Amino acid sequence: MVFDIEMIKKLYAAYPKAIEGIRAELKRPLTLAEKILYVHLAQNESKLQNYERAVDYVNFQLDRVAMQDATAQMALLQLINSGRERVAVPSTVHCDHLIQAYQSASVDLPVAKETNKEVYGFLSSVANKFGIGFWKPGAGIIHQVVLENYAFPGGMMIGTDSHTPNAGGLGMIAIGVGGADAMDVMAGMSWELKMPKIIGVKLTGKLSGWASPKDVILKLAGILTVKGGTNAIIEYFGEGAAALSATGKATICNMGAEVGATTSIFPFDAKTEAYLCATGREEVANAAKAIADCLKADDEVIANPEKYYDRIIEINLSELEPYINGPFTPDAAYPISEFAKVVKEKKFPQKMEVGLIGSCTNSSYEDLTRAASVVKSAKEQGLSVNAQFIINPGSEQVYCTAKRDGLIEEFETVGAKIMANACGPCIGQWKRITDDNERPNSIVTSFNRNFAKRNDGNPNTHAFVASPELVAALTIAGDLTFNPMTDKLINDKGERVMLDEPKGFELPVKGYCVDDAGYVAPQVGQGNIEIDPNSNRLQLLKPFEAWNGEDYENLPLLIKVKGKCTTDHISMAGPWLKFRGHLDNISDNLLMGAVNAFNDKTNEVLADTKEYLKVSELARKYKSKGLGSIVIAEENYGEGSSREHAAMEPRFLNVKAIIVKSFARIHETNLKKQGMLALTFVNKEDYNKVREDDKFSILGLKTFAPGKNLTLKINHADGTTETVELAHTYNQTQINWFKAGSALNAMIKK
């Protein structure tokens, strides 16, 4: 089945003339990202202008929305309240997050279907009612399924998951958002985004040996850091880009989320065409070929990139080493040649205990073939596997094809467990059996994110990120310091042997195969949505209260956060995923992973009674008294997942403002959508002025306006006061969200 072909053809028919007009209006050549962005301008942005990057807010009309099951619950609960009868753009729900990895797919999938029966039933019913495509549990990971079925060159979509940019591997601008953004687009509204900067990454040369597409983004993460791509699109170009497979490009785009990028994108080329044809979309490939010049940067841009990109980074693929990144942050990047020394100097646990291949980043057919070739080489040379081995295929199509071609058997013969086609350990859905869940240990994954506690809940699990082939090699060695490019291993005959370089297939020689891909087309209007008021999994949403028109006075401090605070710290996943459709219940995990700056402990904050309580417990106590509170934090607050629960929970528990040194893009937007104040210190050193027993007033709200700073008055317990200046990035529309109590309230009112 070719989805949305008429929509794609209609869009492509308009592309050449639109690009010609944009180029004439702006009087300059265009990058690929600019072409797609300008073609997708909303009607109220029809007057073309040279929007200022990272400054101007712009509205877009999108082609598609995709939602994974954990975030879809809240997005659809908001859609139910929107007054719509049917979604305005093609939309899908993918059941990939709620399946726990424990024993194997054959055991875990039936358990997940029974455990999550209520939630799956709800999602399916809402999908039917509103005309949303539904991908059953076991069908695959959202981003791999989107790549195989929906992504197309020159399109523009949003998805309720931070790794939505995976579709950039096929030349689509695909952006991760919170559920409220998805709801807006499904409800027929345009979607707002600050016009991003564009970082140009020139790829030269060609990969060989142990180097893989994953190593491109692992190296780039070390260059840009976790916030270096904030408010920017990363656009790849050069002969090196054309040499990469489509799924390899998707891997690179996927993990662009780890540097804070709005999205990442590659131009349309022969590899893109080949993948579209291999996945049954030859009609899309031919239509794209007909407008190929529109689906790449203009020649003048490529010839003089420094004139058109905000920053240029060059990576020579011929010289690229395999990288391994971590632990605890995805931008701690080390080439494999230096990593053994780092392990010893930093005293990382040297024994490698588990190797995990999969996730939305690296679970394609090509990934499995390259990893399997390493396993095959080890077996042929009499080597055994010295660590636990776990595989998560990316989709049912990938699994069926890999099984037919002997790849699954190759993994199973060395004791690997084949888990369900789902996210599993990547998002904390891993029932790991261990002797001590706080023991320091090392694992290596082909995932994208490696924050503390993320995979198995153990704060001392040192999780490292690498390519699937390097994961396989390290799993065989069982030693974090092993370098397959230079080191030998002792086989069953006592001989010292080296692993062969990995080999793989970009596309299956015999083509893809699948018995049942897992797609269920909606029976529009047939869904009967019922939620048990006593359910602990699902809860209808009540509108948040509108702003009362007054400045906030004498708010107590909920927590002053020290150091990194991702959305995992704010709203943990793992066992908490089961409450993603129940705002009251999931709010019990509010900021439980954040470190209190005053005692260096987690989930222990000082109440006005001088006792220490859990963060959510204190917030509920203040709320019961009719009091709001504030959160103070440091840099890149809200890094990581797009989960809007990290914004909805503090809103639900009456937190009035989050005041930080800087925000991650998606989380800042999510806070705004829920009617909260997301504010930054003009002087970052003012963070140090905050004391544990302070009270805070936020002044200037009566004249809240774009570009106009607010004032924070700090009332110390000793009777002294200090005032500091607070900046914000709200435009007038977003200020209206705040005044209405949320973007949803404002939309319904309008």
Residues with active-site annotation = 96-97, 161, 449, 641, 643
Report the Cα 620 to chain-centroid distance in Å.
29
d(CA 532, CA 475): 46
- DSSP H helices, 354-482, are 365-380, 396-404, 407-412, 468-477
Rounded-to-10 torsion of CA 474, 475, 477, 478? 110
Query: Which pairs count as long-range contacts for 290-293, CB under 8 Å and 24+ apart, including other chains?
Result: 290/12, 291/12, 291/15, 291/16, 291/154, 292/268
Please provide the DSSP assignment of 562-577 as one string.
Answer: ES--BHHHHS--GGGG
Using CB atoms within 10 A of its CB, is residue 628 exposed (0-12), middle (13-18) or buried (19+)? buried
Phi, psi of 472 (to 5 degrees): -60, -45
Plot region of 205 (φ>0 → left; ψ -120 to 50 → alpha; else → beta): left
> How many separate helices (H) and strands (E) can be counted in the chain?
25, 31
Strands of the sheet containing 333-335, edge to edge, are 333-335, 323-325, 461-465, 441-445, 352-357, 388-391, 417-418
- Per DSSP, the three-state class of 593 is coil
- What angle separates helix 32-39 from helix 5-26, to the nearest 10 degrees? 110
d(CA 164, CA 63): 14
- Per DSSP, the three-state class of 557 is strand
User: What single-letter amino acid sits at 651?
Assistant: R
Instruction: Tell whether the torsion through CA atoms of 145, 103, 349 and 382 is positive or negative.
Output: negative
Q: Is omega for the bond preceding 165 within 30 degrees of 0, making it cis?
A: no
**How many Cα atoms occupy the beta-carbon half-sphere of 374 within 13 Å?**
24
Please provide the DSSP assignment of 658-726 as one string.
Answer: EEES-B-HHHHHHHHHTT-EEEEESSGGGGGG--TT-EEEEE-GGG--TT--EEEEEE-TTS-EEEEEE
User: Greatest CA span in the chain, whole angstroms?
Assistant: 79
Strand-strand pairing, 721-727 and 605-606: unpaired
User: Could you tell me the two tokens for 645?
Assistant: 């629960």
Plot region of 511 (φ>0 → left; ψ -120 to 50 → alpha; else → beta): left
d(CA 116, CA 374): 37
Using CB atoms within 10 A of its CB, is residue 443 exposed (0-12), middle (13-18) or buried (19+)? buried
